[in-house]
Structure formats: structure tokens, C-alpha cells
Chain A
Amino acid sequence: MMEESEVLFGIYCPPHPQPLLSPDASPGYAKLRQAFETCRERIEQSDADLIIVYSTTWPSIIGHQIQAHPEPEWTHVDDDFHYLGSMPYKFRMDVDFAECLRDSAKDRGLHSRTIAYEGFPIDTGSVVALKLLNPDNRIPACIVSSNMYANRSETIVLGKSIRDALSKQKKKAVVVVVSSLSNRMFTEHIDPVEDRIHSPKDDEWNRKILEFFADGRLEDLSQLSREIHGQIRVQKVVAYKPAWWMAATMGQHNNYDGEVLAYEALHGSGGAVVTLTPSSGSVGDKEFDEDDVEYYHGDRDVLNKGML
């Protein structure tokens, strides 16, 4: 029996600022921009109460941080792409939801806190996504951080706590995952017109992932996360977490209509704009043995056990 979904649809989009700041610098960036526009229109046509953003460019250390300033306002500049220009922003956050999510996360064993400080540096990925997807702040948003030490259990439990909060507040959401596919960029400055995926291997993996997305196989992607991390992710963090978070938040199954709106290179990395809409009728032929997890128990404290 399928539960009524509180998530209307999901968007997977890249964190790089080019689609916002220099969409005309290359045909690829323009296509990504167009795909963002399509998503914006779909959000406008939906009856979503809020947009929930999980951004891989907002790392946290102290548990899971949730943006809860009612109207965060600043001018953001990217560490690498500062020469493309500044990103002034003013967003509208759903503070009630942020507080409810903090409590829901705590109820599932996670350390979590809301963040509401003037001048807090909202990350490039979140700024790009919210400016392009929700330019007039028609719908309030919620941004959650990506804990740099968190692995599968913690990320899945975080996703489930978002479902809890949505159902407690009886709100309907569009969820946005801000992440590249392959994330290796060129290490020199390039002419945007000559941008391409860093290697054929990265390109091949990206296309395989996009096939899964197009088939709506979100849970399969979630289960492939460790493999994806090893194959095409620069080892900045412990794991590739976006698919875990997206599946746990949207529902851990393959019943989605997937649509790949664009796939282009962003300074060598794989930038894709994808939508996933809950549907019926599953695809896929896989079962997995990594257990589902409902509650986060923290470190297992292995170092302090045994005969050490």
C-alpha cells in the first residue's frame, strides 16, 4: 500500500555558478540554465508549500545545520569563480519547518541545530539553486547542511526526519539536491566554449547514472552510492551522499518518473538537471543487503572496545 507522498517531486541540479552568472558563455551552460528555468516553471505550477534544499557545498561538522533565518540576505562570492561576479541574495525561509525538522532529527538520534545569524554565508550551491528555481521567493525554503563525517546511516536517517517533519506539518514540498555527478574539474582556467567532461570514464559513469534517473530508479542509485563515490567522486568527503538523502527523503523505491532535462560539463565536472516525480510501477531488478535504518545511534566507539 503506497503512502500519500508529501514530496511532490525532486530536482537534482549542479552547484556551480555558471548557469546563474554566465549562462551565455557556452551552449552547455545555456542548456543548464534553460533546464533550471523549466524546473522553476514546474515549481510555480505545483502546489508546493516549501522547497527543501540539501546542498553538498554546505558542509557541517556539528551535526546537521538547518537555515532558519527568516530572510537571510547577503552578497555571495564563490571561492574559485569569483571573477564571474557576485551573487546578491535575499531568501525567505520557513522557520516553523526548520524548527520542526530540528526536533524531528533529534527524535531520530541526530545532533541538529537551526542557524539564524545575520551574514551567515549561504553556500554557492544553495544560492544558485534558490535564485534560479525560486527567484521571487514565492515559496519559502529550507536549507540543510551536509555533515562532512556523516555516512549512509546518518544521511538516510536525516532524510527520514524530513519526511517526519513534512507529515507533522502537513506540508507538501519540492526537494532539491544540489550536487554534481562526477566532480573532478579542470585544474586550469579554460575557455567555457571548450568545456567538456574531465574524462571519458567520468562521462560514461555520468551517463549510466542518468539512465537510472531517467528510469526513476532512485533506490537503485542510493544503493550504488558507494560505488559512485569510488569511481567518479574526488575524495573530499567520506561518501557520495546525495542519492541516499534524496531516496530517504522522497521514498526508498524505484517508483518515479524521471526526466533528464540537461547534462553538460561545468569546468570538467558533470552537471545535470534531473526531475523525479513519484508515480506507480517499479522498475529494476535489484535487491540489496545494506539494511535500512530508522534511528541513528552515533559512533559505535570501536576504538574503545576490546583489548586495546
Chain B
Amino acid sequence: MPKGEIVLGCLAPHPPHVVYAENPEQNEPVSEGGWETLRWGYNRLARKLKSIDYDALVIFTPHWQTYIGTHFLGLPEFKSKSVDPVFPNIFRYNYDIKVDVDLAEKMREKASEHGIITKMMRNQDFRVDYGTITSCHMLNPDWDKPIVTISSNRNAHYYSAEVMNEQAAALGRACAEAIEESGKKVVMISSHSLSHRHFVTESPLPEDMSREHIYNHSQYVWDMKLVDLMRNGKMRELIDILPEFTEQTIAETEAGGLTWMMSAMGFPEYSAEIYGYQSVIGTGNLVAAWDPNGVTREIVL
């Protein structure tokens, strides 16, 4: 069996607003659009994914929060409705998700060997979180590939952003080993915003783009610092400063997704593909990808 590999890494933010704006049949609320810069970037990355041969999407989500170890979805299918607890007015999504349970179990096993506390989630009534659904929908609206969802252990809350960085990096190494041994081609997804201060009020029409802007300028400056490092292929440096970025901008990187993905991909020294940056309810959101294949890697924006 040939070795498995990571064929693409995606930074895929999950404000439910982007799904709401796309008006897919699965989502009940109807919108007049909005957040095009982000969505069109997502659409382009989704087209690239169509041209790549892969077996599964593996996603690390901040919205399945676990305090007792790292959990993995462990049943082959989940079918239900996801209603966003924070933005229920815009996200009520009927989903039918297939899970690559073999791959999930392999990752759990490897993580456990590396000393990480783990658990398989085998309750059929469990509702898949809206982070997973939003990022996966935007990257693969046809839902024709199985996924693996990994919960985010809240190390940043319990210890510090530094400890989170170390733990997420260890999990990334374990997942990379599991992928290699599985013989599968995998797309990794780190699902989160960058800066993450929200407005606490919402305009009557959420998609009213005349009201949308970043929460404050310092959030923007920090986000752009990260984008620069990504463009310049300095992912090790980016992960090293991530604890400070996370603290200064209360970033959603606190969950560990980006560190997990970059560690699994060996901290790329090549340029990230930048697909779009836009604020959603004040938070900073970037769609980006890391393509290990130098032939297909592009300068997008």
C-alpha cells in the first residue's frame, strides 16, 4: 500500500453567515447575499478541490469544545438539523454527513500512542457542530467525500495559549502519522477566523454590507501581519507568535486548529494561496490554502 499523504491544507473560517449568504437548499433562512469577498474566495478554492484527487476531509473545529481530551466522530453517518446557538436566525441547516470512521479511529489510536487523552464519539443523537458544517459546505457543497471531525480540547482555557500550541502540534504530528499509515489522500481543514472580536449587536438585515467592518484597526493590523507571514512561507514563525496574536486579538486560533494543521504539514516554507479576507460581524476571516505540490500551487491573490 502506498503511503497516505496530505494533499492540501485549508484555512476555512466558519461564520454561518457565508452559508446563509449562499442560500443552499439545506439552510432554512433566505438571504439577499453578502460577504462576497469571502464567498467568492471560497468558491474558487472549492473549484480547486474538485481538481484534486482525495479520499477524505479531516477538520478540526472550535465549536465542538471538549475539556476531557480530544474526541473524534465515530459513527459512519450523522443526519439531523444544525441550528447555530448564537446566530439561529441565519443558520438552520439540514445535514447528512458521512464519516470516515476507519481514519478517525486510526487518528485516535496514534494520538493516544503520543500520550494525548482521546475519546471516540459514538452517540447517534450527537449533533455535528456548525463549524464543521459551514467549513465543509463551503469547500465541498456536494458533500461527496467523507469527513473526520476532531474536537478542540480547550488547552488555552485550562493552561495557556503556549500549552495549546504544544498540544495541538503534538496532535498534528499524530494525525500526520495516521494519514501516512492509512494510505489515504487527505485534505486538512482548520476551521476558524483570525481576529475574533464580535459586535454584540446585529443590524435588522444581517447581510447589510454597509454595516460590516472589522471590529477595530489593531485587529486588522494583526490579521495582515499573519497574512504576510503566510505569503512569505514563514509558517514556523507564524505558529511561534500565535500565542501573542491569540491573546491580543482574542483570536479563534485559541482552539489550536492552525497549529494542528501546520504541524501535520511540517510547517510549510512555501507560500500559502490567499483566497480572500473579509470581516464578518467584526471578526477577521481569511480563506487560504497550502498546496504541497509545487506544480499545482498557485498565486491566487
Count, chain A residues at interface, CB 8 A: 36
Shortest beta-carbon distance from B8 to chain A in Å:
28
Residues 246-262 of chain A, each 1 if its beta carbon lies under 8 Å from chain B, else 0: 00000000000000000
Query: Interface stretch among A55-63, A95-103, A162-170?
Result: A55-63
A77-B123, A79-B65, A80-B67 known; A119-B92 Cβ under 8 A: yes
Using C-beta atoms within 8 Å of the partner chain, give the interface range for chain B.
Answer: 20 to 34
Cβ of B76 within 8 Å of any chain A Cβ, yes or no, is no
Among residues 175 to 217 in chain A, which have CB atoms less than 8 Å away from a CB atom of chain B?
184-189
Shortest beta-carbon distance from B117 to chain A in Å:
5
Q: Which of A76, A235, A303 contacts B157 (CB 8 A)?
A: A235
DSSP majority for the A interface?
loop
Contact of B85 with A121 in the complex, beta carbons under 8 Å: yes
Among residues 98 to 123 in chain A, which have CB atoms less than 8 Å away from a CB atom of chain B?
111, 115, 117-121, 123
Shortest beta-carbon distance from B197 to chain A in Å:
8
Query: Interface stretch among B184-192, B198-206, B255-263?
Result: B198-206
How far, in angstroms, from A83 to B267 measured CA to CA in the complex?
A: 35
How far, in angstroms, from A302 to B33 measured CA to CA in the complex?
A: 33
Among residues 229 to 277 in chain A, which have CB atoms less than 8 Å away from a CB atom of chain B?
234-236, 267
Contact of B127 with A185 in the complex, beta carbons under 8 Å: no
Cβ of B81 within 8 Å of any chain A Cβ, yes or no, is yes
Contact of B65 with A187 in the complex, beta carbons under 8 Å: no
Interface residues of B (CB under 8 A from A): 64-69, 71, 81, 83, 85-89, 92, 117, 119, 121-123, 125-127, 151, 153-154, 157-158, 198, 200-202, 216, 281
The contact sample of 24 A-B pairs, CB cut-off 8 A, is A60-B85, A61-B87, A61-B198, A61-B200, A62-B87, A62-B200, A75-B125, A76-B125, A77-B123, A77-B126, A80-B66, A80-B67, A82-B123, A82-B126, A83-B119, A83-B121, A85-B123, A111-B201, A118-B81, A123-B85, A149-B198, A187-B117, A187-B158, A189-B117
